[in-house]
Structure 1
Amino acid sequence: MAANAEFVSYIQEQLAPLGALTTSPFFGGRAIKYRGQQFAWIIGSTLYLRVDDATRADFEAEGAQPFKYTTKKGEVTVRKFYTAPEFLLDDPEQLLGWSRRAIEVAAD
């Protein structure tokens, strides 16, 4: 599923205070990068943020799910990207905070 252009624009607007972000095609969606490091991506109207072992529990506590897709051999789970918790989409300050954490994870 391709990234929803309107949703991509909305997220870019919300993340603008982070500074110079770039986007590019990625896995059928749009990658979002900060200083060349991919910290998020959008597929359809879903925002995924980069996680690591230290931040994954926070995402799971909010009901976020890892990215999954199906191949001929079965389902594949990508545990480096989790859905952004729903409340972030209505709270720009929280979205910026969680995105900053995703940027830190991507930089490591």
Structure 2
Amino acid sequence: MTASAEYTEYVLEFLEPLFPVRIGRFFGGVGISYGSVQFAMIMGNSLYFAVDENSRKKYEQAGMQPFSYMVKKGRIQVRKYFELPEDVFTDPEQLRLWANESIQIATKTKKPNKALKRLS
């Protein structure tokens, strides 16, 4: 499920005009952050946004699935990240709204950095 460089560039073409983002590789995928908050990720050739109990419903209503991966005992679902609908992805105004919502959710659920906490 490695994120392809081509798909990552494709995603960035849509996101970078909206606001500055940075990427970082992890576990074969790509994390997408705004400031210090990771709000999205690319796994395979799919873009996932962070969700919460309230926003998850609209992803499910759009027929989207959570990020998942296989282990020996079966499939694990990571319900914190849902795949973004293609029609939202290609509509700049909708993309901005959904991305901003995801950033707000990721900001609320971000765990404090333990190293910074020790310095306090």
TM-score by length of 2: 0.84
> Kindly, what percent of the aligned residue pairs are identical?
44
2:93 paired with 1:59: no
* More moved, 9-18 vs 67-76: 9-18
More strand by share: 1
What SS does the aligned partner of 1:2 have? coil
Q: CA deviation at 1:62?
A: 0.6
2:85 paired with 1:85: yes
* More moved, 8-17 vs 40-49: 8-17
What SS does the aligned partner of 1:17 have? coil
Q: Deviations over 1:11-51 (max 9, x none)?
A: 11211134321101122110001111110001121000000
What SS does the aligned partner of 1:67 have? strand
Cα separation, 1, equivalents of 2:34 and 2:54: 20
Partner of 2:48: 48
Opposite residue 83 of structure 1, the aligned amino acid is: E
Q: Deviations over 1:62-100 (max 9, x none)?
A: 111011111112211100000001212321221121111
Flag the structure with larger Rg.
Answer: 2
- In the alignment of these two chains, the number of paired residues is 108
What SS does the aligned partner of 1:93 have? helix
Opposite residue 92 of structure 1, the aligned amino acid is: P
Q: CA deviation at 1:54?
A: 1.2
Task: Mark the runs of 5 or more structure 1 residues left unpaired by the alignment.
Answer: none
Cα separation, 1, equivalents of 2:7 and 2:98: 18
Q: CA RMSD in A?
A: 1.2
Q: Name segments (4+ residues, structure 1) moved above 3 Å.
A: none
Opposite residue 84 of structure 1, the aligned amino acid is: L
Cα separation, 1, equivalents of 2:57 and 2:80: 12
